[in-house]
Amino acid sequence: MQDSEEIIKKLEKKLSAFSVGPEQANIGVVEKNTDGVIVANGLSKAMMGEQVVFENGARGIVLNLDEDYVSIILLDKADDIQAGHIVKTTGLLSGIKASEELLGRVINPLGFPLDQGNSIKNGKLMPLERIAAGVVEREPVNTPVKTGIKAIDTMIPIGRGQRELIIGDRGIGKTAIAVDTIINQRVENKQKKFKPVYCIYVAIGQKQSTIAQVIDKFKQYQAMDYTVVVSASASDPATLLYLAPYAGVAIAEYFMEKGQDVLIVYDDLTKHAWAYRQISLVLRRPAGREAYPGDIFYLHSRLLERAVKMNKANGGGSITALPIIETQANDLSAYIPTNLISITDGQIFFQSDLFNSGFRPAIDAGNSVSRVGGAAQTSAIKSVAGKMRLELAQYNNLAAFAQFGSELDESTSKQLERGKKTVEILKQPQYQPLPESLEFISIWALTNGFFDNIELDKVSYLEERLHDFMKRNYPKILDELSSGSKPSEEITKKIEKAVSEFKKTI
């Protein structure tokens, strides 16, 4: 119970900030309401992107300024707005209140909680639309974001401040990769090797059930402690879907300005493009290719340009973006996928054929690249990954030939065998991200021929046992490996000894 004095004090505090005086506002009169777009007369002083309030309390955003009228898109469901209603400007551009309080919360793009928690009242107001940091404030990507997924950390490394596109057909594990990466940050944050990574998961136009599942997984793996979920589901108005990624990045910028590292996942931008197409069509903007408006490229480029690695003078924070795009029938040449591929610093391409043949995560190593992540890879992983990648590429080439069934010489068949093992090692179950030291052990054992004489179907089982063996008997080696520096000859010898010891136990 609060006592009366406390209540009075609170009221006094609130009232001290309140001042009485004359007020002016710019008003307009609603002319028509069609498909969630309100056309209003007046509002001669309205700004582009300004928030307006209707007399029934509903809010909207100005998206078109014409000679005689303005077009407003609604943020709330408000079917009862009629011609003749008064609409007022607020002088505010859309923004969201961001603070540490948001960690562990599920909110909508306007900052309203969706998780039955308290409403979010405190925090710094961050603008949804902002010009990205300039060249002078940035520095090259130099620190890794560990995904805990062997295939990505070794072949397509992601650095802090990078934009890496996750692209592929529906239902073949794109979200799984993003979720695994967020879950893996718990282990990474505990190690304290690098700064902790805060995560923001932006769900755009997904089923509520899917979003609930993802949140449930975050909770199960205690990932919510450092994660904010921004959700605009399929049942929300297109306006919210359009604003969701900007709300996410605005929250990310709050943490980044404090010098923190942030990972943001946009799941997915295809639906974001659809929502923007819908808004543009009802606003009667001219339609271009696939009926998308002319500024669809700018829509995504200005969003992803806000992914950044700041230099030390500017706090040293970073925002790493993992946008997700859904393709139709593996078609990379559609409009939105090509746009996003050209905007981002690389892509992780998912193949449905690989997925169906049991290779999961179904990453197509040939079509996937990371244009800047290499600089961020730790030298430990770098020392083994190069060889593995080469072997895999050779295998993929040879495998095509070997299908004809002709006789192969010894070295070729050896290469084929090694390739098969590589593919097998790169398989990884969902929700089981690995720490860097164990990733290193797996790849080292593979490239040094440890798995050569082992049957294919036993590889993953033995890999797991090798991990257990190392954790139990040689925790010191793992400790040294997790420092990230290139292992010295002494350690390499120790690993060799340990692995051969393990081999004897089989």
Partner 1 sequence: MNRQLLKKLALASYTNGKLDERKVNLIVKYLKRSEFKYYLRALKNLESTKTVYIQTANELGTEEKKSIKSLYGSKNLVFTKDRSLIAGIRIIDNDMIYENNLKNNLKNLVNAINK
Interface ranges with partner 1 (CB under 8 A) = 11, 14-15, 17-18, 20-28, 41-45, 68, 88, 121
Q: Which of 23/79 has CB closer to partner 1?
A: 23
Q: How far is the CB of 81 from partner 1 (least distance, A)?
A: 18
C-beta separation of 76 from 228 below 8 A: no
Name the β-bridge partners of 262: 198, 319
Q: Is 316 helix (H, G, I), strand (E, B) or coil?
A: coil
Q: How far is the CB of 28 from partner 1 (least distance, A)?
A: 6
d(CA 303, CA 306): 6
Q: Which of 31/295 has CB closer to partner 1?
A: 31
d(CA 359, CA 492): 30
Q: Report the run of H or E that residue 156 belongs to, with start and end.
A: none
Q: Which of 121/472 has CB closer to partner 1?
A: 121
Q: How far is the CB of 42 from partner 1 (least distance, A)?
A: 3
| 266 phi, psi to nearest 5 deg | -105, 110
Q: How far is the CB of 62 from partner 1 (least distance, A)?
A: 14
371 classed as catalytic: yes
Q: Report the run of H or E that residue 313 belongs to, with start and end.
A: none
Q: Which of 24/118 has CB closer to partner 1?
A: 24
Contacts of 170 (CB under 8 A, 6+ apart): 326
* Residue in 130, 138, 371, 465 annotated catalytic: 371
The CA-based angle 461-465-469, given to 5 degrees, is 170
Question: Is residue 27 packed enough to be buried (19+ CB in 10 Å), middle (13-18) or exposed (0-12)?
Answer: middle
Q: How far is the CB of 57 from partner 1 (least distance, A)?
A: 11
Question: Is residue 283 packed enough to be buried (19+ CB in 10 Å), middle (13-18) or exposed (0-12)?
Answer: middle
CA distances from 319 to 43, 162, 311, 314, 453 (A): 37, 8, 12, 13, 44
Provide the b/e sequence for 352-376 (b: ≥16 CB within 10 Å): bebbeeebbbbbbbeebbbebbbeb
Q: How far is the CB of 27 from partner 1 (least distance, A)?
A: 5
| Tokens (6 digits) for 4 | 């009366």
Q: Which of 26/492 has CB closer to partner 1?
A: 26
Q: Which of 18/112 has CB closer to partner 1?
A: 18
Q: How far is the CB of 356 from partner 1 (least distance, A)?
A: 55
Residue 89's nearest CA partner among 49, 125, 50 is 50
Q: Which of 18/404 has CB closer to partner 1?
A: 18
d(CA 314, CA 106): 30
Q: What are the residue numbers of the active site?
A: 371
